[in-house]
């Protein structure tokens, strides 16, 4: 895993941890979307937009 992928993995892990602290659970579908960010297929902005769209929070 390259340096950028490691950083992106850490970012996703921190986001998931924040959700858990709030008493929320991250869905498998959202984690799949986040995986695209980790591997560089999507930007953080694109991932956030997709996840917000899933929940109607545009």
Domain range annotation of the chain: 3-54
Q: Given this model, what pLDDT does residue 1 score?
A: 85
Q: Which residues contact 19 (CB under 8 A, 6 or more apart)?
A: 25, 26
**Average pLDDT rounded to a whole number, residues 27-54:** 96
User: Across all residues in the chain, what is the average pLDDT?
Assistant: 95
CATH topology of domain 3-54: Helicase, Ruva Protein; domain 3 (1.10.8)
Q: Taking the model in full, what pTM does it have?
A: 0.85
CA 36 centroid distance within chain: 8
Q: Is the pLDDT of residue 24 over 90?
A: yes
Q: How confident is the model at residue 19 (pLDDT cuts 50, 70, 90)?
A: very high
């Amino acid at each position: 895993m390259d340096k950028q992928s490691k950083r992106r993995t850490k970012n996703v892990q921190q986001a998931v941890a924040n959700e858990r602290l709030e008493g929320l659970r991250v869905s498998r579908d959202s984690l799949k979307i986040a995986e695209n960010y980790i591997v560089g297929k999507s930007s953080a902005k694109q991932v956030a937009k997709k996840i917000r769209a899933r929940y109607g929070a545009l």
